[in-house]
Amino acid sequence: MKVNRVALLGLLVVSTICTLGVDVSQLFSTSVYTCLKNNGYHFVIPRGYCSYGGVDAHVVQNLNNAKAAGLATDIYMFPCRGKSAAAQVDQMMSAISSKLFEMVWIDVETNPSSGCGWGTNHSANCEYLTQIINHIKSHNKNVGVYTSQYMWTNIMGSKTACPGVASHHLWYAHYDKKADFSDYS
């Protein structure tokens, strides 16, 4: 019987620390965000910076609408490798009030925009990502990385590449329709 109680307690603890959220790359109204909130969602992460190398035109309105609905907010940055890391961060940070979001997630995945792909030099990719991270931190914001094992390995060279990034939050992208990390490696 004690085993069952311990297992149940473990399940209760896990369920209380898990939260639902969504990332968005288009404009949504406050009513849509309210619907999400009413259906158990707790946070929204709008795109703050687009893959082609510019601030998302809808990010500020999305942040305001999500906050009006009572949701926590972060933003994500899809950097353009062909442009200066610092310039992109500065452009994004100057366009979006720091009061509207808590954290910046950096999207590390294949970039389809012309002149913006990561390239094949893995150590240069790691250095570039580190520049972005350091510049976001210089704006007094926390940083996380959004990636999948596949994307990380292709862009950085191996699962263990770019060890300086390991101390930051990871948004593990894996599209298997299961809300768990049982297959994480």
Q: What is the pLDDT of residues 135-175, one digit of tens each?
A: 999 999 999 999 988 999 999 999 899 998 988 988 877 77
Flag whether 49 is in a domain.
Answer: yes
Domain that holds residue 153: 16-172
pLDDT tens-digit map of 15-45: 445 678 899 999 999 999 999 999 999 999 9
Maximal CA-CA distance, the chain? 62
Annotated catalytic residue: which of 56, 74, 102, 107?
A: 107
Per the structure, the count of domains in the chain is: 1
pLDDT value of position 116: 97
Q: Which member of 23, 56, 102, 127 is catalytic? A: 23
CATH number where 92 lies: 3.20.20.80
Domain presence at residue 9 = no
pLDDT at 9 > cutoff 50? no
| Active-site residue, selected from the candidate residues 74, 109, 127, 176 | 109
Query: Measuring CA to CA, how many Å separate 97 from each of 8, 31, 64, 88, 91?
Result: 43, 22, 10, 15, 12
Q: Any catalytic annotation for residue 107?
A: yes
Is residue 183 situated within a structural domain? no
Q: In whole angstroms, what is the distance from residue 126 CA to residue 4 CA?
A: 46
CB-based burial of residue 115 (10 Å sphere; 0-12 exposed, 13-18 middle, 19+ buried)? exposed
Active site residue 180: no
102 is catalytic: no
